[in-house]
Amino acid sequence: MDKIVNQLYEHASEVGSKGLDSTVLDEIKKRIADSIITSYGARNAPPVAIEKRALLPSSGKHNSPVYFTGREASVDLATFMNGSMTRYLDYNDTYLSKEALHPSDNVPPILSMAFAKDLSGMDAAKAVTVAYDVVGALSDAVSIRDRGWDHVTYISISSAAGLGLLLDFDYSKYENLINLAINNNISLRQTRAGELSMWKGCTASDASRNSVFAALLAMEGFTGPSPIFTGEMGFFKQVSGEFALDLKPGKVLRTMIKNFPVEYHAMSAAEVALNLRNKLEGKIEKVEVETFEVAHKIIIKDPEKLRPKTRETADHSMPYIVAYTLKNGAPNPNSYDEAYLKDPEILRIVDVSSYKVTQKFNEMYPENLPVKIKVTTDKGVLEEEMDVPKGHFKKPYTWEDLENKGKAVMGETNAKILVEFVRNFEKRSVRELFEVISDVNFKG
């Protein structure tokens, strides 16, 4: 018996039998609503349009709706397209630890499978909770980024862990689900190196698609290689090194809802730049930014970050995000259009900007997301420092905040309908949620 798989199964069984703390349930519902809001913003994004052309029409033994289309697809392909919408704008929630990742990447596979099996909102909420707990524990355990592997490898594990509870698998099926979900689903970190491609926003959805595929096979008794973590050629040996998994409930309480569509390590910088912009007078002559090592490694150091050519690179570029915000205001889903990427004034601000890693800020991360920005203009000097941005677990989003985010993405009526429904999700069915998503007001 694999000790890690056994832990996953025991935790899922405990959540399934004991239910959810009311605070955890409320936060899980917020993350489900947030994932749908961000998905709406990406419903017509170029990679999503390509996926629809390439993969629809589709049908299988188990089918689920593709968000905002009025169409269904096999549950694995629906997961892929819905997950791509959730992730593409880099606007869904974040968890920061040894590994930085996006826990709500787990929502689309669970909602899609729950629709196919006609399950309740509470069933889905419990499964999403398990996925959050697992992906948070993995993130706390070890970083695989520095070993050359992408964090979505963890999404393949966590989404499978949640699906196993959702489908009420016994230990044998649960073990084979985890084995099948992991073995052929190890993702290269090249996804986030250099100039970034469409795959950056879609690789997590592919990880969860493969977990759904594994669940369909395990459901019928298909077996997978074992022991998947501790075996001679298993996950410990090939990917992560050995680790202990401290699997506790409530990881959702340390996740952060995004206030802007930027890579999360730039969130404080975007908020501070916006605050400074509202006070600035004169022409910007110099921008000095103090940050921490992880931010520098992921969203600053590469030369492509100074002249991003794609949306995927730009929303992972702190220099671009700070310059854009100082010139134009709060980042939004349209802030990475080609006209902005080529804007001479934004590029000039990038060129007069400098970035420095400080020991103080290194020691504050990941519990905090510190930044200090000093802007010199021909009229004077302004500076501001911030420990955590709005939406961080130390400054959490309220339902009102979430509805306001929804209004900015999908309009007031749609946001109100969605938020009101999801606030009572545990009393409704998943198919009712998809009826809300497919309502005529949401089509576009």
CB hemisphere CA count around 299 (13 angstroms): 23
Model confidence at 441, in pLDDT bands (50, 70, 90)? low
pLDDT tens digits, 8-32: 999 999 999 998 999 999 999 999 9
pLDDT score of 442: 56
Residue 149: DSSP 8-state: B
pLDDT tens digits, 64-103: 999 999 999 999 999 999 999 999 999 999 999 999 999 9
- Give the SS3 label for residue 381: strand
42: which 2 tokens? 């990406």
pLDDT tens digits, 291-315: 999 999 999 999 999 999 999 999 9
From the list 237, 235, 299, the residue with the least C-alpha distance to 265 is: 299
> To the nearest whole number, what is the mean pLDDT of the chain?
96
Q: All domains of the chain, ordered by start, with CATH?
A: 3-259+404-442 (1.10.4100.10), 264-386 (3.30.1330.120)
Determine the average pLDDT of the residues in 44-57. Answer: 97
pLDDT score of 19: 87
pTM: 0.94
pLDDT score of 443: 47
Beta strand residue intervals within 120-199, DSSP E: none
Q: H or E stretch including 138?
A: helix 121-141
pLDDT tens digits, 163-192: 999 999 999 999 999 999 999 999 999 999
Give residue 207's region: left, alpha or beta (phi > 0; psi -120 to 50).
Answer: alpha
pLDDT score of 284: 98
Q: What percent of the chain is modeled with pLDDT above 90?
A: 97
pLDDT score of 1: 85
Q: CA 155 to CA 101: how far, in whole Å?
A: 9
Beta strand residue intervals within 292-346, DSSP E: none
pLDDT score of 444: 42
pLDDT tens digits, 328-359: 999 999 999 999 999 999 999 999 999 999 99
DSSP letters, 205-253, are: HHHHHHHHHHHHHHHTT----SSTTTSTTSHIIIII--------S-GGG
Residue 342: DSSP 8-state: T
pLDDT at 193 over 80: yes
| Contact criterion met (CB below 8 Å) for 289 and 354 | yes
pLDDT tens digits, 239-260: 999 999 999 999 999 999 999 9
Residue 91 phi, psi (nearest 5): -120, -5
Residue type at 71 in one-letter notation? R
